[in-house]
């Protein structure tokens, strides 16, 4: 696996390729890799000639400085995992390599910045689009791969890709779960044994909604789903919503294009999850 730390090194390497014949796949990550990330690498490997993974803990998308400090950064283990799976290229820049001092970014994501993650994490998606635009512009991939767990982020990046006419084919890959249903996340490492058990509530509530979507009304589904969180002092539910899968507008009536999304703090660790309905 080739490992590049600077934009100039990566750009020089990419310029040496015959881009008309080499289809490039990009998997942007913040590291602390798990099987969910590796499934994105594998998806790229099946459809692209060259797979590039980026690892960059992006400071501009953290609205909580403590969250940035606590975010796991096991780079040696990450590189070992990428080597084992046969990733072609790792781009692992420092912050100073990706950002100039006092750099501005004025792109607005509109409605998606006002709901769900946008409402609870102000400024988050401005930071996400800022770094993903830089990566897209640098690599100019044919395809880019993201996980469904960050579904709202995928819609935001899709809108940015369209607005800037970047022409990249974006793929949202299915959530990879532990055997008991917990969505794999880099943040799971912070859960102690009791919190880990409580965290299963996210998937259990989502699964309930999916299994009962045809039988119960929306209000009944939401009421019963939210009740999952009321008896556990370790859980602080931020939102549980049933939305249109294309726009994330909250539904007033059931449709065939719906998604249930949840965000909950378990102890001190904030987790998100979702399921497509029905």
Token digits for 119?
A: 């409402």
CA distance 115 to 169: 25
β partners of residue 2:
89
Burial of 99-129, coded b for 16+ CB within 10 Å and e otherwise, reads: beeeeeeeeebeebbebbbbeebeebbbbbb
What three-state secondary structure class fits 29? strand
CA angle 160, 48, 162 (to 5 degrees): 15
In this structure, how many other beta carbons lie within 10 angstroms of the beta carbon of residue 270? 18
User: 34, 37, 124, 190: which one is catalytic?
Assistant: 37
Q: What is the DSSP letter of 189?
A: G
**Residues in Cβ contact with 43 at an 8 Å cutoff, skipping those fewer than 6 apart:** 25, 145, 171, 173
Known catalytic membership, residue 37:
yes
Contacts of 141 (CB under 8 A, 6+ apart): 24, 25, 26, 52, 168
Lookup: tokens for 240 = 């549980």
Q: Which residues are catalytic?
A: 37
């Amino acid at each position: 696996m080739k490992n590049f730390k600077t934009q100039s090194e990566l750009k020089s390497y990419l310029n040496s390729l015959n881009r008309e014949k080499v289809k490039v796949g990009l998997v942007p990550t913040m590291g602390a890799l798990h099987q969910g990330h590796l499934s994105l690498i594998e998806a790229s490997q099946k459809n692209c000639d060259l797979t590039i993974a980026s690892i960059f803990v992006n400071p501009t998308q953290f609205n909580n400085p403590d969250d940035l400090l606590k975010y796991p950064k096991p780079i040696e283990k990450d590189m070992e995992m990428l080597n084992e799976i046969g990733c072609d290229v790792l781009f692992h820049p420092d912050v100073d390599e990706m950002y100039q001092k006092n750099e501005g970014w004025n792109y607005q994501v509109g409605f998606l910045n006002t709901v769900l993650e946008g409402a609870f994490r102000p400024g988050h998606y401005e930071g996400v689009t800022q770094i993903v635009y830089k990566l897209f512009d640098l690599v100019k991939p044919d395809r880019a791969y993201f996980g469904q767990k960050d579904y709202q982020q995928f819609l935001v990046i899709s809108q940015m890709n369209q607005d800037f006419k970047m022409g990249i084919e974006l793929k949202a890959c299915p959530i990879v779960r532990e055997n008991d249903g917990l969505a794999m996340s880099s943040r799971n490492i912070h859960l102690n044994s009791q919190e880990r058990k409580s965290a299963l509530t996210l998937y259990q509530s989502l699964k309930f909604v999916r299994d009962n979507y045809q039988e119960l009304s929306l209000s009944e589904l939401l009421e019963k789903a939210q009740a999952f969180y009321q008896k556990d002092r370790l859980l602080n539910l931020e939102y549980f919503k049933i939305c249109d899968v294309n726009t994330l507008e909250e539904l007033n009536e059931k449709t065939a294009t719906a998604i249930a999304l949840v965000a909950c703090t378990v102890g001190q660790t904030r987790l998100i999850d979702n399921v497509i309905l029905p």
